[in-house]
Structure 1
Amino acid sequence: FRNLRGVILPFITVLISVVWTLGLMGMLGKQLSPLNAVMPVLLVSLGSAYGIYMIARYNDELLEGADREKAVSQTLKSVGISVFLAGTTTIAGFASNVSSSITLMKDFGLFTAYGVLVALLISLTFIPALLLLLPVPKKVAAKGGNGQDRTLAKVLGRIAHLVVAKKRSVLVTMAVILVIAVLGIPQLSTDSNFFNFFADDTAPKIAYEMVKDKFSGSESVEIVITGDLLDPDVLHAMENLQTDLEQTGLVGRPQSIVNILQRVNMALNDGDPDFEVLPTTRQLAAQYLLLMEMSGGEMMEQFLTLDYGQARIQALVKDSSNEATTRLFSEIDMLFAKYFAHLDVEVAQTGIVALLDALASMIIEGQISSLFMALLTVFVIVLLLLRSWEGSLFSTVIVSSTILINFGVMGWLGIPLDIVTVLISSIGVGVGVDYSIHIYTRYQEERQKHDPAQSVTNAIIHTGKAIVTNAGSVIAGFLILLLSSFPPFRYFGSLVTMTMFVASASALIVLPALILLRWEKKVGKGVVEQS
């Protein structure tokens, strides 16, 4: 914009949005987490766009000869509708995270939706009010613009010419990119181990690796047995499970009340290793446990409840990757069926590794359900407000393409889906539908005066300025994260950069090509080429 208001007004929108959102979180007693700590950054990328669109259209109206009051009025009538529509769909997209079974994801979705709502209201009320009070910018009043504006307009004009002349080539190229991306999605992995968030040369990661190497692991898997634990059959089943589990090579030596009873039996038989076995009767097992209680029982309390109703088997996991833990839990399930199916006891897996594995599964399941709901919501809202099947379908296609490319690149580059990178799809939905709606509504507006080719060209040139400004500023900000020593932040910065680029390029190139091809199918190729 080359003037102070072009920076200050969008900044005010973002500032108020972030302050109000964090203030509401504080009032409700919510704490910052690694997940919602990223929320202010999202509000910067999404909230600033609304103010940028308003100011860009306001300047266009002034350049066409409108006075200040008329320019504000025309801005609200034209771009105000698309801003409202984009904001509404973005809010719905983030609110769809309420379907997630992860509480942090629910809170993230709801509070981000609230922040976007605040940014939307500020952009549609506060910014127009300030524009009415502030004088007309001198450069705009001179009906000139600056060299940078003219250069950007020329670039966008060339893009528009390419789209009009080579629409089929554009769509074929996009289809090829999508196919390549989709082939990478099966290679996408999940990672719920928070220690992998640290770089290999950081102190926490070095200490973690040392403990894992020297002590057969740092995270544990826990097995809880509920039932008659004095029954010799139950104790022997626990012993067999521990032996077989250790032989898998996935864990260190498991420990439980079984090991304590074996050592007590050996101690009471002059330390003879041949007697390091379980007691043969219920009465003998009860006597050994009573002896342990009388001697303090601290060790026994780690593995057995006071009423002897629940016991715990603990084993340190050697490899806590998702692939290894998935295999481990499968082995444990088979051992449950092998040794406990005929016994009147209940067995269950738990522990930090099991919780992290469950978290990884919930991330995937929550992501699928949230994305499906978000895309469906976007489609319905755009359909109801634009009253256009075409606009609704095309907007959903652009959003879906952005998300698929994001996941495909993650798969090809080996970037795992974790509690931080899972947010990228939300950004893809937000900016993808935002850019698409602005291009399509401007196209609809231009169609009242021009043919399809000229309408697409005008939409790309005029709306493209705001899209490039927003995407460029957000990309520049997120590129700083590439300097972070925290790997998830580096991934996040690079993926947001890619997502913003793909979303803006798709809206400026692919969406107009879809519009023109659709129009060509309606009226015939010759008519479109002539226009």
Structure 2
Amino acid sequence: MDHQRYVDWADDRIVGDSRKVVLAFLVVTLLFSAGLGNVSTNAGTSQFTTGLPAEEAFSQVNDEFSPTFSADTGNTQLIQKGNNVLSKGSMLRMLRAQKWLQEKEGLRVTSTSSAASIVATQLDPTATTPEGQIRAVESATTTEIDAAVRRAASQSPQFNSLVSSDFNRGSASASATLGLVVHEVPAGISSGSGQGGSSPLTGIQQQAQFTVGAAGHGSIVVFGSGILAAEFSNVVVDSLILTVPAAIIFILFFLIIAYRDLADMVLGLIALFMAIVWTFGFMGLAGIPFSQMLIAVPPLLLAVGIDFGIHAINRYREERVEGVGIDRSMRITTDQLLVAFFIVTGTTVIGFAANLTSSLPPIQDFGFVAAIGITFTFLIFGVFLPAAKVELDELRQRYPIPTFAQTPLGSEGSRLGGVLRGGVAIAERAPVVFLLLTLVLTASAGVYATGVSTSFSQDDFLPPEDNPDWIMSLPEPFAPSDYTVTQRTNFLEDNFDTTQSGQATIYVEGPMRQDSTLERIYRAGDDPPDSFVRENGRAASTSIVTVIQDRAARDPEFRRLVQRNDRNDNGVPDDNLGEIYEYLLDSSSRDRALNYLGEDYRSARVVYTVESSASDAEVTEDARAVADDFPHSATATGSIVVFQAVTDVILESAIQSLAIALAGATAFLVLIYHVLEGRPSLGIANMVPVVVTVALLAATMRLLDIPFNAITATMLAITIGLGVDYSVHVTHRFADEMHEHDLVTALDRTVRGTGGALFSSMLTTVFGIGVLALAVFPAIGQFGILTAMSIAYAFLTSLLVLPSVLVVWDRLTNQRRPLRSLFDLDWSRPAQTTESDD
């Protein structure tokens, strides 16, 4: 395929119709800007669980096993703190807060409860409303209240769950207590295991905060999933507000050093702005919401855009300082860089698009948007920027536009050029030894990196409990919100027995009337695994079997029915199960039965209590093993299982996307270099520094104790995309120089010319992306650190490792040199540029 004719056509448009090209790109920018207003946000953990089998089963469980025709409900917690929240005054404040919330029509409160209301009913059993409970407490003496608190503690398990762990029965005191408010909300929002996103509870709980503030005098705060969702979204916005200005400052500083010309820098900034507008405008038009994952897209576009921009201007200046005219200089530049940019774009898109294989929708969205954004960046910096540069320099010839330094970076004789030549010096003397040492380092890093952990939890999406003082002292609008979620979550975990045990659910689908179905469900609890709580040697559980047993214990007629159909006298019916179910559904146990049995007798759920000390991985593995013993089709689910499923998918996605990105990028480079140079093996040489970079980054993750989580799971594939960017520029420039120069001269000209641009873009993007470490969203901070390090590693390996790789590649593929010349120390002899069979 003759690619040159396509490049020549693009050259003609860029140079000959530069003004039309610039106008066309500005018009497209206006079109994409129309989509900016349509970009919505999506935050939290719920976006990651959608579509997983365990989550789908969990949603079905929530949908099926609830009272028929009942409205969905949402819960709000009232957290009260004080010297003694069980004193008369404190309990009255809690009860008044409950009363005010119930009276507020917009809050849709269906019921409230608290330790104070339980104590009030101990004082007056007829006090069933907040008003009556307030009167009961107001009329009681301190002695009577303390006695009522002690009775509540001995008689009510709910009371003990609502007071803090420092509750002292003797003094009838505690430092914290909880109130629970139940709201009726639109259908569908109470199910699922994830948190975040938009929710009707957000507005309800924010309004409840205002209402309770008047009643609680600051001692009672509101907490719930709606407030959690709001702070998830605020974290995204605050992270952008804090990091984008800092990134701009760093980028401007280094761009001034790189361009050293105001007009050229303005062109580069305009092109960067256009890349962002095109990408986010496309998101708005395509209906793709902005999530925490996509916070990383702008820095990635800046990384590639800055690199493209500096390379384009620097390569153009190399020709201009030789006295070549504007049009001719730009044609030479685009002849080389359009191909290089295309190769970089192809491999980078492959690296990002590898994330489309993930089972997690946010990671898929990230891969898709990043791939589209990089494609836009290629068009803007490969076509628009050169055309705009032609227009600018032609204007400079007619008008007195200020012009500053126009010399390329890394030119011969400069200090930077001497430093950049370090990799060539190694390649001249001992390339094989150096590559063997590099191989040992890479292998060691790869083995060490196998210990990188994987995690997925709500904590990954929460801001830190306390931001540094300097961040909180920033003026508006840079100061982040006053986050409370992490503080309140930690307070609940530290002061209440809310995590003593968890649950694992088995969702069963099949004909529940079939004989022995209940017997098999019952036997699945025999000899439970270690992570399951035991009761009398069996797994502690609730199910339709326990509902039947409880009913049989209270109802003689039902007990006789069960006994007639129980073959082995273990209290579990084996025959005529339809008759058993019909009896239950016609009794007062109907609602409880429907919590565990589908109304059409085609599904059931069994809820097992699990040990609090067991890890999510242990619980999930054991729950799946128990599900295998169930009749029909059984799926292990529940919040613990769903979150562990996401953790498993994150690791799977990281490994899978890495393999696909490596294989895809290598195949693409082999094909491209076969088409362009007739030397496909050059594509393999191109990938060597990328592999080294990936191994070093993975090892760094373990060293810094940064796990693969929902955000960093994409890092290895991204590293391939960004790493190839640097190595392609070196390899492609080297291939061009080899047509006219000997091996060492070609390498020298490559690292001085391309290396200078790489150095500038590396510094700019490392600091520009590194500012993500300032984000109040911890996972994004980790992502920024890792991305900056991957760029630094890619730069170092491209200039230190790649020259030796190219020298060895030349010796292996050059038919006119004997293989023993691979170990020659004299590399200065001109290489023969004959075609090889490759």
TM-score, length-normalised on structure 2?
Answer: 0.56
Alpha-carbon shift at residue 80 of structure 1 (Å):
2.7
2:575 corresponds to 1:310: no
Matched residue type, 1:139: F
Match for 2:531 among 248, 252, 255? 248
Q: Which has the larger radius of gyration?
A: 2
Q: Tell whether the 8 Å contact from 1:216 to 1:318 is kept in structure 2 after alignment.
A: no
Q: Tell whether the 8 Å contact from 1:398 to 1:511 is kept in structure 2 after alignment.
A: yes
Q: Tell whether the 8 Å contact from 1:54 to 1:80 is kept in structure 2 after alignment.
A: no
Q: Tell whether the 8 Å contact from 1:520 to 1:528 is kept in structure 2 after alignment.
A: no
Matched residue type, 1:138: T
What corresponds to 2:450 in structure 1? 186
TM-align CA RMSD: 3.5
Matches within 5 A, 1:360-375: 360-375=647-662
Q: Tell whether the 8 Å contact from 1:279 to 1:285 is kept in structure 2 after alignment.
A: no
Matched residue type, 1:259: T
What corresponds to 2:386 in structure 1? 128
Q: Tell whether the 8 Å contact from 2:423 to 2:800 is kept in structure 1 after alignment.
A: yes
CA 1:302/1:144 → structure 2, altered by over 3 Å: closer, same or farther? closer
What corresponds to 2:547 in structure 1? 260
Match for 1:459 among 747, 750, 753? 750
SS at match of 1:134: helix
Q: Tell whether the 8 Å contact from 2:737 to 2:749 is kept in structure 1 after alignment.
A: yes
What corresponds to 1:429 in structure 2? 720
Alpha-carbon shift at residue 458 of structure 1 (Å):
1.6
Matched residue type, 2:404: K
2:493 corresponds to 1:235: no
What corresponds to 1:175 in structure 2? 439
CA 1:438/1:314 → structure 2, altered by over 3 Å: closer, same or farther? same
Runs (5+) with no aligned partner, structure 2: 1-258, 397-401, 467-483, 557-562, 564-569, 831-838
Match for 1:68 among 301, 304, 326? 326
2:317 corresponds to 1:59: yes
CA distance in 1, matches of 2:319, 2:586: 86
What corresponds to 1:31 in structure 2? 289
List per-residue Cα deviations over 1:379-409 (Å, max 9, x = no partner): 2332333222232011222222222222233
List per-residue Cα deviations over 1:314-371 (Å, max 9, x = no partner): 24655699xx33333332344345x54xx5x332212333333333333333333433
Matched residue type, 1:295: S
2:636 corresponds to 1:349: yes
Matched residue type, 2:374: V
SS at match of 2:542: coil
CA distance in 2, matches of 1:11, 1:138: 17
Alpha-carbon shift at residue 55 of structure 1 (Å):
1.0
What corresponds to 1:222 in structure 2? 505
What corresponds to 1:138 in structure 2? 403
What corresponds to 1:381 in structure 2? 668
What corresponds to 2:338 in structure 1? 80
CA distance in 2, matches of 1:320, 1:109: 37
CA 1:218/1:132 → structure 2, altered by over 3 Å: closer, same or farther? farther
2:268 corresponds to 1:4: no
2:804 corresponds to 1:528: no
Runs (5+) with no aligned partner, structure 1: 270-274
Aligned residue pair count: 519
SS at match of 1:360: helix
SS at match of 1:31: coil
More helix by share: 1
Q: Tell whether the 8 Å contact from 2:541 to 2:607 is kept in structure 1 after alignment.
A: yes
Q: Tell whether the 8 Å contact from 2:501 to 2:612 is kept in structure 1 after alignment.
A: no
Alpha-carbon shift at residue 286 of structure 1 (Å):
5.1
List per-residue Cα deviations over 1:480-511 (Å, max 9, x = no partner): 22233433122212211221111111111101
What corresponds to 1:154 in structure 2? 418
CA distance in 2, matches of 1:311, 1:515: 64
Q: Tell whether the 8 Å contact from 2:455 to 2:708 is kept in structure 1 after alignment.
A: yes
Q: Tell whether the 8 Å contact from 2:512 to 2:603 is kept in structure 1 after alignment.
A: yes
Alpha-carbon shift at residue 39 of structure 1 (Å):
1.9
SS at match of 1:222: strand
CA distance in 2, matches of 1:227, 1:472: 61
Matched residue type, 1:478: I
What corresponds to 2:771 in structure 1? 480
CA distance in 1, matches of 2:338, 2:584: 79
Match for 1:42 among 300, 315, 333? 300
What corresponds to 1:504 in structure 2? 795
Q: Tell whether the 8 Å contact from 1:170 to 1:513 is kept in structure 2 after alignment.
A: yes
CA distance in 1, matches of 2:359, 2:318: 46
Matched residue type, 2:429: A
SS at match of 2:292: coil
Matched residue type, 2:288: K
CA 1:362/1:105 → structure 2, altered by over 3 Å: closer, same or farther? same
Q: Tell whether the 8 Å contact from 2:352 to 2:367 is kept in structure 1 after alignment.
A: yes
Matches within 5 A, 1:276-355: 278=571, 280=573, 290=583, 294-295=587-588, 297-315=590-608, 324-337=615-628, 339-340=629-630, 345-355=632-642
Greater CA drift, 302-311 or 168-177: 168-177
Q: Tell whether the 8 Å contact from 2:279 to 2:369 is kept in structure 1 after alignment.
A: yes
TM-score, length-normalised on structure 1?
Answer: 0.86
SS at match of 2:798: helix
CA distance in 2, matches of 1:396, 1:112: 21
Matched residue type, 1:528: W
CA distance in 1, matches of 2:493, 2:548: 28
